[in-house]
Amino acid sequence: MMINIAVWTDVDLDGAASYLVLKWMLLNKCDCKVMLNTCSPSKLRGEYLKWLQRNKNEDYDKIIMMDLDTSVVADLIDCSNVTIFDHHESHFAAAKKYKHAATHVRSCASTAQLIYEVLKSKSSTELTDAQKSLILHVSDYDSYTLALKQTKKLNCLYWTYNGNRYRDWE
Output the CA–CA distances (angstroms, integers) from residue 69 to 2, 47, 90, 103, in the order listed: 29, 14, 7, 11
40: left (phi over 0), alpha (psi -120 to 50) or beta: beta
Question: Which neighbouring-strand residues pair with 63?
Answer: 6, 82
Please report the pLDDT score of residue 109 as a whole number.
97
Q: Which of 17, 123, 132, 4 is nearest to 66 (CA)?
A: 17
Q: Which of 65, 69, 73, 16 is nearest to 48 (CA)?
A: 73
Name residues of the chain where pLDDT drops below 70.
163, 165-170
Question: Which neighbouring-strand residues pair with 3?
Answer: 32
**Residues contacting 167, CB < 8 A, separation 6+:** none
Secondary structure of residue 5 in the 3-state scheme: strand
Secondary structure of residue 112 in the 3-state scheme: helix
pTM flag (> 0.85):
yes
Please report the pLDDT score of residue 90 as a whole number.
84
**Residues contacting 42, CB < 8 A, separation 6+:** none
Extract long-range pairs of 162-169: CB within 8 Å, 24+ residues apart.
165/16, 166/16, 166/19, 166/36, 166/38, 169/16, 169/20
Q: What is the pLDDT of residues 15-27, one digit of tens each?
A: 999 999 999 999 9
Please report the pLDDT score of residue 124 as a whole number.
83
Extract long-range pairs of 146-155: CB within 8 Å, 24+ residues apart.
154/13, 155/13
Residue 125 CA to its chain's centroid (Å): 18
Please report the pLDDT score of residue 46 as a whole number.
98
